[in-house]
Amino acid sequence: MLRRRLLSVLFALTVTALAFAPSIARAAPVKLTPGDFRLAEGAYSPVIAKLDALLKVTSVPAVLDSANRDAITGSGCKPGATNQVAAFCWESGDNATADWYPQGITSTADAYGNGQYEGRTAMFASWYYAGSGANKGVRVSFVDYADPAAPKYRHVLLVEPYTNASGQPDFRAVGVHAGGVFAYGYYLYVADTWGGFRAFDLRHIWQVATGDKDKIGRQSDGSYHAHDYAYALPQAQKFTASTTNGVAALRYSAASLDRTSTPDSVVVPEYGADGAGTRVVRFPIDYTDRKFSESADGYTHATEAYRVGIKSMQGATAIDGKFYASASAGSGARGSLYTFTATSGPTRHASALPIGNEDLSYRGPRNQLWTLTEYPGKRFVVAVDPKKF
């Protein structure tokens, strides 16, 4: 009887170990020609200066000081990620809403190497609109993370400045999926799925009129609204994607900043439900002007590119030459974290992340690899220790 019980225990432990052990893909990443992937910088919006003259321009610290929502921590927020080191959850209304879906994650550690922006520690999360009526575009949660035990946050609407038919400076909602974001200096970059990147200038946050969720931009009385959000962050530039030599267009599904590379760089993963041919591409970025580094031909060319074949890849970043990729498994199963290098992997760490995991961001000063989840009622913002994978 004792022997039978021991065998049963050993069998159970073996099954459990196999369930949580990483599985290693047989094929190493396939190196592609990085120069075939490129970005072209567009002009800085001339409308921003005109709107600065009409609206109150405020700062990131001021937005954080005006935070009107309390994040949930502790026993009320349990993502259950493997090697978890930090987490918070949205308040109940944001956790449950089907109008907005969280996608991208970044922090002030991306913006500046000291981990702060104008003396403040913050997280930023992008949400795309999925509700009825007119497309309200993208909002970004500015999370005051000075006290990890009690984060507070406020949503800010992303807007695109333009000159309207009456010749007046105006702005409209930004209709992108916002699958990935990263801060770099005073820019907040947002992935534009088939377009490349849009850059939003954190030096020009406008305080606007509130009271009507349906109003956007300039109104007949000269006031400006942003779908009832108190602040609007303007798009300053576009960095338009293209490929050469017949290479298929890259899907900019997410994005992250790598401060551990030389020079700093941006990692772009490509989503594909079946994983067939999915790629991860790295672009150089210049700390002196906070823009993508151009070559002599006027384009920013990628410096690394791999075909990795990871199914449902939602985010990717790199730390000291090692890549990390998140992959979701729908609304009913936990997500996975993959690791690989230029010559080995990908290694799958199954069920390491909560259900509905999305973008990745590395908060270097705290050695925290962050992600967030999207499904209503199951929304977490969580960090793991990447060194343990």
Question: What DSSP letter does each residue of 66-107 carry, written as one string?
Answer: T--EE-B-GGG-----TTEEEEEB--HHHHH-SSEEEEEEEE
Prior bond of 365 cis (ω within 30°): no
Burial of 110 (0-12, 13-18, 19+ CB in 10 A): buried
Residue 242 lies inside a defined structural domain of this protein? yes
Domain that holds residue 288: 22-388
- Considering only CA atoms, which of 302, 343, 348 is closest in space to residue 322? 343
- Mean pLDDT value across the chain: 94
Residue 4 lies inside a defined structural domain of this protein? no
Residue 1 lies inside a defined structural domain of this protein? no
Given a cut of 90, whether residue 263 has pLDDT beyond it is: yes
Given a cut of 60, whether residue 241 has pLDDT beyond it is: yes
- What average pLDDT does this structure show over 177-183? 98
Structural domains counted in the chain: 1
Hunting for tokens 């551990």 — which residue is that? 260
242 DSSP assignment: E
Residue 89 lies inside a defined structural domain of this protein? yes
- What is the identity of the amino acid at 98? A
Given a cut of 60, whether residue 71 has pLDDT beyond it is: yes
The pTM of the full predicted model, rounded to 2 decimals, is: 0.94
pLDDT tens-place string over residues 27-49: 799 999 999 999 999 999 999 99
State percent of the chain over pLDDT 90.
93
Burial of 28 (0-12, 13-18, 19+ CB in 10 A): middle
Question: Can you give the pLDDT at residue 6?
Answer: 41
Contact 99, 130 (CB under 8 A): yes
Dihedral angle sign, alpha carbons of residues 39, 42, 44, 45: negative
Residue 278 lies inside a defined structural domain of this protein? yes
Residue 7 lies inside a defined structural domain of this protein? no
Residue 8 lies inside a defined structural domain of this protein? no
- Considering only CA atoms, which of 363, 361, 322, 365 is closest in space to residue 344? 322
**CA–CA separation, 260 and 386 (whole Å):** 14
Helix (H, G, I), strand (E, B) or coil at 15: helix
Given a cut of 90, whether residue 21 has pLDDT beyond it is: no
